[in-house]
Structure 1
Amino acid sequence: MSEAAAKAAEAESVLIREDEGGIARLTMNRPKQRNSLSEELMRAMTAEFEAIAADAAVRAVVLAGAGPAFCAGHDLKELTAARSSADRGRAFFAETMQLCSTLMQAIVNCPKPVIARVHGIATAAGCQLVASCDLAIAADEAKFAAPGVNIGLFCSTPMVALSRNVTRKHAMEMLLTGEMVSAARAYEMGLVNRVVTAGALDAEVNALANLIASKSALTVSIGKKAFYEQLEKPLADAYAYASEVMVTNMLARDAEEGIGAFIEKRDPKWEDR
Structure 2
Amino acid sequence: MRKAFLQLHTAVFIAGFTAILGKLITLNEALLVWYRLLFTIITMWALFALQKKLQRISTKDMLKITGVGVVATLHWLTFYASIKYSNVSVALVCFSLVGFFTAIFEPIITRSRINIIELLLGLIAVLAISLIFHFDPTYKTGIIIGIISAMLGSIFPILSRGQLKFHSAETVTVYMLTGGFLFLTLALPFYLKLFPTENLLPQGSDIIWLLILAWVCTVWAMQLSMRALSKISAFTVNLTYNLEPLYGITLAFLLFREDRMLTGAFYVGLGLIVCSVLLQTLLVYRSGRKISTKS
- What is the TM-score when the length of structure 1 is the normalising length? 0.30
Indicate the structure with greater helix content.
Answer: 2
**Structure with the higher strand share, 1 or 2:** 1
Relative contact order (alpha carbons < 8 A, sep ≥ 6): 1 or 2 greater? 2
